[in-house]
Structure formats: C-alpha cells, structure tokens
Amino acid sequence: KGHYLNITAGDMEAMYERAEFAKEIGSVVVMMDLTIGYTAMTSMSKWSRKNGVLLHLHRAGHSTYTRQKSHGVSFRVIAKWCRMLGVDHIHAGTVVGKLEGDPHTTKGYYDTLRLDHVPQNLANGIYFDQDWASMPGVMPVASGGIHAGQMHQLLDLLGEDTVLQFGGGTIGHPDGIAAGATANRVALEAMILAR
C-alpha cells in the first residue's frame, strides 16, 4: 500500500524540488510521466539512486507514437530504453481491465522488462534473443480498472513478479474502499496458495 508522488514538471529544477519534498515527507517512490523525455528520465534515475528512492514511470502519452501502424516506436523499444535509463517501475499494460492489450504482446513487454535473458518468442513479439547481462530489470506495473475478480487472469498472464496497482477497482467496491482492498488481498493470497 502506498502513494507515488508525481514529480513531473516543466523543468528539471521543479522536478528535483518535488522529488526532495517527496523524500522529506517519507515517500519511498516518486513518479514521473513518459512525456518528460529520456534525458530527464536519466537525470531523475540518477537522483533516485543517489537518494534511495524508487522511480516509477507512468507511460502517459505513449500511444501518440506506439499505436501508429506505419511509423512511430513500439512500446517494447520504449521499455528497453527505460530499462537502460534506470527506471525501477513502469506501466506495461494489463490485458484485462479498462486498458486494451493483446495478451501475447503484453507478456513480451513484461519479459523484456524482467528477464536477464529474453529468448526469441515470435508469438510474444520478441524477434531475437537479448542478453541483458548485469543490467537490472524493471518491475512491470499492471493498472487500469483491474479488480479482485480478475486476479486469476492477472497472475496467469503476468506472473507474480509484478506490481498490481488497484485504484478504481478498489474504490469502486460496492461495500467501500476497505472491502475492496480486502477483496484484492484475499484474492491474491488465495491464488498464490492454490498454485
């Protein structure tokens, strides 16, 4: 349970200020949007490492170039760039919930982020082997309308080495937020124990 304070701003000075404030009040994770650009991501990655704070990347704006069929950049490539830049978490799709996503393609994103060696898997959109050697992985995050009733699909498709970020799926529980949080936890533990 936690909160990612959004440090996204129009310039690096404001981002550093926001990050320092987040650290001062005890936040262990700060969040930035993909729209800030790759140079700013690198700078914030360095700040986060130096200050012992996790860096969460929200992929807001990715669809302006990842969904183009004739030009643009695949999200798999963006995931690789973000891994090389040193982010700790990244929204990588859910397959279920309110966000669209092909199960095989999304699994390919998760493998690209997590695995030390990514084997060729044409069904998942991985066209060649990639050895990341000692490059740290990135924790993929599933969010966007997910709820306890989808837990079996989430774990089956995305695995256990994933951040499951329940927002509206918790708040929207008919018996309230506490019941939604409890439902998520019980569903997760039941699925893990059933394996």
Q: Quick one: pLDDT at residue 75?
A: 84
Taking the C-alpha atoms of residue 68 and residue 189, their distance in angstroms, rounded to an integer, is 39
Average pLDDT of the chain to the nearest whole number: 90
Report the pLDDT value the prediction gives residue 94, as an integer from 0 to 100.
Answer: 85
* Cβ neighbour number for residue 113 with a 10 Å cutoff: 25
CA distances from 189 to 54, 128, 158, 172 (A): 25, 36, 16, 21
Dump the DSSP string for 130-152.
EE-TT----EEEEESS--GGGHH
Lowest mean pLDDT among 2-6, 84-88, 187-191: 2-6
User: By three-state DSSP, how is residue 94 classified?
Assistant: coil
- What DSSP element (H or E) covers 33? strand 29-33
Q: Which of 76, 52, 46, 50 is nearest to 62 (CA)?
A: 76
Structure confidence at residue 102 (pLDDT): 85
Q: Which two tokens stand for residue 70?
A: 């004739």
Yes or no: say if 142 and 107 are a contact pair by the CB < 8 Å rule.
no
H/E stretch holding 31: strand 29-33
The token duo for 125 is: 């959109």
Q: For 67-118, write each residue's pLDDT tens digit.
A: 777 778 888 888 999 999 999 999 988 888 777 678 898 899 999 999 999 9
Q: What angle do CA 104, 109, 110 make, to 5 degrees?
A: 95
Global pTM reads: 0.88
**Residue in the block written with tokens 């987040």:** 22
Q: What are the backbone dihedrals phi and psi of residue 87, each rounded to the nearest 5 degrees, phi first?
A: -70, 155
Location of structure tokens 């506490």? 178
Q: What is the per-residue pLDDT for 96?
A: 86
